[in-house]
Structure 1
């Protein structure tokens, strides 16, 4: 589902756990094209408490650091709300700060919202 939700960037799992569900300690290497650049990022599941949340953190990749928490909260009507909390920083000191301010702080939320909309459509069409 993740790969399909990121089809616009050609994102694909190229190493580690490349299909199925991931568990605490598992890692995956993603390859994609974002902002016209091809990159790879390996992330590891650093926290996992089903069905409440999991966290993936960059092990190697384009960011100075990347911490992505996914929270799942039940709704009164039997549904689920997924909430993403992402903490990241670009590398390269001042140049990275400029990239965050001018590009990444807008690009990343749009990317995650588009991914979540895709996931929501898939899950809702299954019911």
Structure 2
């Protein structure tokens, strides 16, 4: 697992890499099934999809969620799939939610037979400008990092059992 977070011009960028013991087709089918997001998100995030997306991700798709942002406080979140290249990558962008900006790229690259390098690149910006960053930037940065560390562990257990 490799996770890195940087910040430039008020925008945080998280990059996460994980090698999956799957074929490219299997990885693509798993990660483009919207309901699988529930399976790989840490339980403490109280994450749930609130609309009924079809079993296939497509460009222009809208997915709505409810997510815990602090204990006892949840937020509605709406994302749109803005880009998609079959078995290569897709991008979800926040249309409404807790961030001033959220742009998440999901990349898949077959590195050998039965192994895929999955790379997530997430660019996000706190709401309320510099005040939001001062008061919650470190907390949110650590929370986003925690989500991807947890996903790594969940996927390791799920895919090897």
TM-score band by shorter chain is 0.7 to 0.9
- TM-score between both structures, scaled by the size of structure 2: 0.70
Which runs of structure 2 are paired with 1:1-127 in the superposition (5 Å)? 1-6=36-41, 7-15=43-51, 17=53, 20-36=55-71, 37-98=73-134, 99-100=136-137, 102-125=138-161
Cα distance in structure 2, aligned partners of 1:120 and 1:53: 21
Query: Over the residues paired in the alignment, what is the CA RMSD in angstroms?
Result: 1.6
Structure 1 counterpart SS, 2:112: coil
Give the conservation status (yes or no) of the 8 Å contact 1:16–1:26.
Answer: no
- TM-score between both structures, scaled by the size of structure 1: 0.86
RCO higher in 1 or 2 (8 Å CA, sep ≥ 6)?
2
Q: How far is the alpha carbon of 1:16 from its aligned partner?
A: 5.4
Give the conservation status (yes or no) of the 8 Å contact 1:89–1:96.
Answer: no
Residues 40-89 of structure 1, C-alpha deviations (whole Å, 9 max, x = no match): 11000000011011000001111101000001111224311211100000
**Structure 2 gap segments, 5+ residues each:** 1-35
Task: Report how many aligned residue pairs link the two structures.
Answer: 123
